[in-house]
């Protein structure tokens, strides 16, 4: 994170400006209590004070169920459509193919 970006950051607890430590691993504020926050290995600054990071288990389960249901499958196909010059969109072709294979399996 560049110095110009860290100059824009404010401590979420006291609102004071701050700066990176000399080793570049942390950010500390210039407030009275000098709150300190750690950078992640990939360079993101974690302003969490409660130690909780990431998503709640319920959110992860809901996201997994949504993705496994295949709701994005046609959206991803549709994104690639502009390169195709077919009378029928590729997404519609795939959907018809899926419906036909489902009917034949019954």
Per-residue pLDDT tens digits for 93-105: 677 777 777 666 6
pTM above 0.85, yes or no: no
- b/e per residue, 52-68, with b = 16+ CB within 10 A? eeeeeeeeeeeeeeeee
Q: How far is CA 48 from the centre of its chain?
A: 17
Lowest mean pLDDT among 11-15, 40-44, 74-78, 101-105: 74-78
Q: Is 31 helix (H, G, I), strand (E, B) or coil?
A: coil
């Amino acid at each position: 994170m560049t110095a110009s970006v860290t100059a824009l950051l404010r401590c979420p607890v006291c609102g004071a400006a701050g700066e990176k430590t000399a080793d570049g691993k942390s950010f500390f504020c210039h407030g009275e209590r000098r709150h300190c926050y750690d950078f992640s290995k990939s360079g993101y600054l974690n302003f969490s004070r409660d130690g909780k990071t990431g998503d709640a288990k319920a959110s992860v389960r809901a996201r997994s169920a949504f993705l496994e249901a295949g709701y994005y499958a046609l959206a991803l196909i549709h994104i690639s459509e502009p390169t195709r010059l077919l009378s029928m969109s590729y997404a519609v072709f795939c959907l018809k193919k899926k419906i036909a294979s489902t009917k034949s399996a019954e």
